[in-house]
Amino acid sequence: DIQMTQSPSSLSASVGDRVTITCRASQSISTYLNWYQQKPGKAPKLLIYDASSLQSGVPSRFSGSGSGTDFTLTISSLQPEDFATYYCQQSYSTPYAFGQGTKLEIK
């Protein structure tokens, strides 16, 4: 099974900061990598699919990159509504594992 590891597990940042979250797969997954945002008490929301494709309706300050085993999610200028937990997920082979999450908090 493919394991997904995110770093950092938590991150403090300020409005307007540029933030990068990384995700590493235990083996190559090509670009079969998705990013989700989850706020407390809510279902996750798809942000990025296929490593770098922006889901419809998601602000352009979110971007994704990477291929193979190493991936990044970047938020170019943090907005107040971006403080949440972020998860990566591989969709290369079952089980379609998630990373452990990165909690983005206000500094």
Q: Give me the residues that bind another protein (CB under 8 A), please.
A: 1, 32, 34, 36, 38, 43-46, 49-50, 55, 85, 87, 89, 91, 94-101
8 A C-beta contact, residue 64 and residue 33: yes
Which two three-digit tokens encode residue 65? 């990159």
At closest approach, how far in Å is the CB of 46 from another protein? 5
User: Residue 45 Cβ, how far from another protein at the closest point, in Å?
Assistant: 8
Least gap, CB of 2 to another protein (angstroms): 11
Asked if 91 contacts 33 with a C-beta cutoff of 8 angstroms, the reply is: yes
Q: Which two tokens stand for residue 19?
A: 């933030």
